[in-house]
Amino acid sequence: MGVDFSSGFFRDGSGAEAFLDELKAFCELLVDDEVVVDAAREQCLFYSKWQGLPAYKLQVLDGVYHFGGFERGDFCCFFSTTSIELAFKVLVLRKAPLVRYALRYAAIELPSRGKGWPFARSYGRHEGVIFQDVDGYASRLSWVHDLTPPQLLEAYASEDGGVLRRWVTHEERRGANRYWAEWRKSALRFES
């Protein structure tokens, strides 16, 4: 018997299925991003392709959520945890900045680990154990631990950064040259 993803799953009472649908809609603002979400199938909750190639996947095996990307067609796990909330937050932290950038929203840059946060690479607070953290997500999670995944997605989807607005950078940090301007234009499903 699987987990009921339909409602009341997160601390704020919202359901994982609704969250995955919102995340899919946000990610699919990018032209070449194809996302499949299937909360009913526990094996693979989230799967995305970028320009027809496998990009990211969130799967659950034996009660452990594994998030990662693909290299030469093989799945490479970046982050593993027993907490679905932490797994969904990492999913947002990886996918949402790409969409923000294409929308020309200012970047949200979370500083390194928050002071007093005992969130090490291998331990979560009360949410669950982190088994693997290749890309150092624990540092970024320390700043968003009080937010639910839907709240985190809402912050990334809002132009001003919502509850994360104090970490929004307003300067052009990537030197938006002609290449990036063309990429933005071709990456969005709608025209600005």
Q: What is the pLDDT of residues 117-144, one digit of tens each?
A: 555 544 444 446 777 777 777 777 877 8
The helix or strand, by DSSP H or E, that contains position 73, with its residue range, turns out to be none
Instruction: Provide the number of structural domains found in the chain.
Output: 1
| The amino acid at 59 | Q
Residue 78 falls inside a structural domain: yes
Q: What is the pLDDT of residue 184?
A: 62
d(CA 67, CA 59): 7
Across-strand partners of 50?
33, 53
Enter the DSSP assignment of 45.
E
Across-strand partners of 44?
59
Residue 5 falls inside a structural domain: no
Q: What is the pLDDT of residue 12?
A: 54
Tally: H helices and E strands in the chain: 5, 6
For tokens 């909330």, name the residue. Answer: 85
**Closest alpha carbon to 137 in 66, 39, 190, 32:** 66
Residue 8 falls inside a structural domain: no
Instruction: Determine the structural domain holding residue 127 and report its residue range.
Output: 14-190
Please say whether the beta carbons of 73 and 35 come within 8 A. no
Q: What is the pLDDT of residue 9?
A: 53
Q: What is the pLDDT of residue 124?
A: 47
Residue 7 falls inside a structural domain: no
Residue 4 falls inside a structural domain: no
Per-residue pLDDT tens, the chain, 192 aa: give them.
Answer: 244 454 445 555 567 888 888 999 998 888 777 888 875 665 788 888 888 888 889 998 888 889 998 888 888 888 888 888 888 999 999 999 989 888 889 888 887 665 555 555 444 444 467 777 777 777 778 778 788 899 999 999 999 888 888 877 654 444 444 555 666 666 666 554
Residue 2 falls inside a structural domain: no
Overall pTM > 0.95? no
User: What does the radius of gyration of the chain's CA atoms come to, in whole angstroms?
Assistant: 16
Residue 59 falls inside a structural domain: yes
Residue 9 falls inside a structural domain: no
Tokens describing residue 134:
């290749």
Across-strand partners of 36?
47
